[in-house]
Each structure stands twice: as structure tokens, then as C-alpha cells.
Amino acid sequence: MEIKVKCPAKVNLTLEILNKREDGFHNIQSVMQTIDLFDILTIKVEKSEKFEINLSGTSDEIPYDERNLVHKAVLLFMKSLDARGEGSIRQSKAISVHIEKNIPISAGLAGGSTDAAGVLWGLNKLFNNPFPKEELHALCAHLGSDLNFCLEGGCQLATSRGEILEKLPFYEFELSLIKPKNVGISAKEAYTKFTALENKPNLNMTKELVETLKSGEADVDDIDYSLHNDLELALIEDYEEFRAIKMEYPEAIMSGSGSTFFMLTHEFKDFDDTFWIKPNLKFIPYGVCEV
């Protein structure tokens, strides 16, 4: 059995940190949007004398072993499948996943999360949909904060630690991305630096953007006005590359925990080859799906 899955990147149109939770995560409010930049997964399920998970891919920047979130997603899916059947299904299966990596890593674009959501979705299809959508969402929430959004896609208000979603009206806008090639930010670094900020923002731009989107008449200027990321404020003083982007394009906004910035409708120009630039992208109204 084999399936190919498209796994879209996301940008955070807003990202606001509300407080730290007892479980170590943070409560957030964020408007997230999928875009037409995709990793492609090729998932194969074959009979085998023993259970195996074999990962491969086109990037030399990610591990192809148990450290990869895709590996964890495969293992969680098969264990969950076993738990609802008789015997151990996974003992007689070899699962292979090839990752065609187009989304930069440690970039705030949910590259790892979308791949993990994609493999859960793809395996569910290959095994004839044993898990309804709500149970797939439970598996996603077990693995990380962005997987639930990547499963659904489109434009969503994400709250709690990101796993609670409310679908918002979709608008088809264009955008461009820029990322310093030599800068990758972990969520841990970004949230730690935000916690250390003495003067934390409290702008509530997410509420404003949600109201704008729900009006049904939002144009790009309306959306631009509400774009905001709390974590950008926590990181920008530590990275001269970020300051260079903001100096040239003040309207650019960081996505997630960085290190990618985006702009609506405009293109990034006049940067040297130490920056990765991706112009002419679009918002899309869906999440992970079959190729």
C-alpha cells in the first residue's frame, strides 16, 4: 500500500502569548493560515516479519530516526491501532516514509508538525480510516501544538496551546517569505526569551483580526493592520538578520517562533544569498491532503 501526501506550511497572522500553563506550555491566541509551500510524503505499508519504521528524505538537516516527529507519529498511530484490535497489527508491518523537504526547518512554518499530521492522515487512509476525525485530532494533540491546525488547514483561530481551533472565513491573498539561512529558532528559545521580557505586549490584535475576517469584507490593508507576533519582540534584538529585514521592510512579520518573516502582496528584494526568499505564494483553504 502506498500514498503520497501534501503537507502545507503555515504562517501565523497573529501570535499572542497569554500565560504559562502548569504543563510547561503557554496559552496562546493565534490566527493561523496554510500556504502553498509543501513537503511531500510518500508513505508505504508492507508486510514484514517484524515491525519497522524506515524514514528517508531529501534534507540533510533533519534526523531520519526516532528523534523525528514523523517517526513518533507512525509509532503512535500503530500503537493506537493495535489498542483497538485483537493481536498486534504493527508486528507484521514495515512502514516507510520518504520526506521530500521543501519547508525550511526551525523556521516557524510548522514543517515538522505538518509532516507528522500528514503521516497520521495518510496512514489512516491506508488502513481504511479506522480513526474518525475527532480521534485523529486527539492523536495530533498528543504529539504537538501545531498538528491539529495542519490537519485542518485554511484559516483558523487557535487557542489553548494551539490545539483548539475555530474555523475562520478564508481570503485568498498572496505573500512572500524570507528567512536567514544561518538562523534557526527553536520554540523553546523563543518562549524562554519572551518569558524574560520585562514589558510584555498586551495588544489583543488577534481579536481585532478575527472581527475583521468575520466581517466578510476584509481587504489586504485591513489584514496588514492587524498582523502581529509577540515572539518577534522577544527575539529581534538578538539577531541582526531580523533587524535588517525589519529595517528594509517594517511591515514584515515573523511567523511562529521564527526565523521566517512574511509580507502580504509584496516581495522581498535586495537581500544577498545568505537569505532564503520564496515569493509568489498564496493562502490555501485546506490542510494535509493526498497528492
Helix runs in 236-288, H state only: 240-248
Which of these is catalytic: 6, 10, 179, 278?
A: 10
Which of these is catalytic: 6, 39, 115, 146?
A: 146
| Kind and range of the H or E run holding 190 | helix 187-196
Q: Which amino acid is at 12?
A: N
What count of residues does the chain have? 291
Q: C-alpha 10: how far from its chain's center?
A: 5
Q: C-alpha 17: how far from its chain's center?
A: 17
Of the candidates 33, 11, 2, 10, the residue with the CA atom closest to the CA atom of residue 119: 2
Cβ atoms of 222 and 212 within 8 Å: the answer is yes
Catalytic site includes residue 269: no
Q: Tell me the backbone φ, ψ of residue 267, rounded to 5 degrees.
A: -110, 150
Query: Which residue do the cell numbers 481587504 mark?
Result: 219
Catalytic site includes residue 222: no
Of the candidates 106, 125, 116, the residue with the CA atom closest to the CA atom of residue 41: 116
Q: Which three cell numbers stand for residue 233?
A: 519582540
Cβ atoms of 5 and 290 within 8 Å: the answer is yes
Query: Which residue do the cell numbers 536567514 mark?
Result: 180
What is the phi-psi region of residue 119: left when phi exceeds 0, alpha when psi lies from -120 to 50, beta otherwise? alpha
| Kind and range of the H or E run holding 113 | helix 111-126
Q: Which residues are tagged catalytic?
A: 10, 146
